[in-house]
Structure 1
Amino acid sequence: MVVTVSMAIRVIRVIVVIMVIRHILVIRVIVVIMVIIAIRVITVIMVIMVIIAIGVITVINVIMVFTVNMAISVITAITVIMAIRVILVIRVIFSDITVWSL
């Protein structure tokens, strides 16, 4: 009677230990799977963010090129206008000189 009770307690202990180990293993597997999924999601998000950043940088570069080209064209237009004005002023001065010399 005493032997069977102690044997039953041992068997129950072994079963409990096996159940606990099984739960720990299942939890570990779930944690590993969740970590792998999280790493994949993070890498996908990082790739998407890098692609978006590259797109934004290229758009900014295109805008900068357009603004630089516009600025250069405006500066050249202003210089051409100023040169035409200077030429006209010189012409007027020379015409006045020729008129006064007569």
Structure 2
Amino acid sequence: MTDFRDVAAENRFEQGFTDTDGDLRRVWADYAKHGDSRVILHVEADPQLRGSGAAGDFMKCLADHARDEGLSLIPRCAYAVAWFRRHPEAADVVSDQ
């Protein structure tokens, strides 16, 4: 796993994970800025990472990043909405606006 990063120029959070073949692959979330909030528009994992738990690990890092940076997250992507519903411990970073 590589460090979580905010690629602000692309409005994208991303993180690298190693697949079963040892290749580095990415999980990312495209976002829109809304003041101190980030609207999570789309979360996607490289196909070779699907089913590995990498997207869930990424979402935990995303929540930690938001907490550390004083950001709130507005999930709009179905995956992000479902992940936050399953992880009430991350509710402190979620906003509906």
TM range (shorter): under 0.3
Q: Which has the higher strand share?
A: 2
Higher-Rg structure is 1
Q: Per residue, is there more helix in 1 or in 2?
A: 1
Greater relative contact order (CA < 8 Å, ≥ 6 in sequence):
2
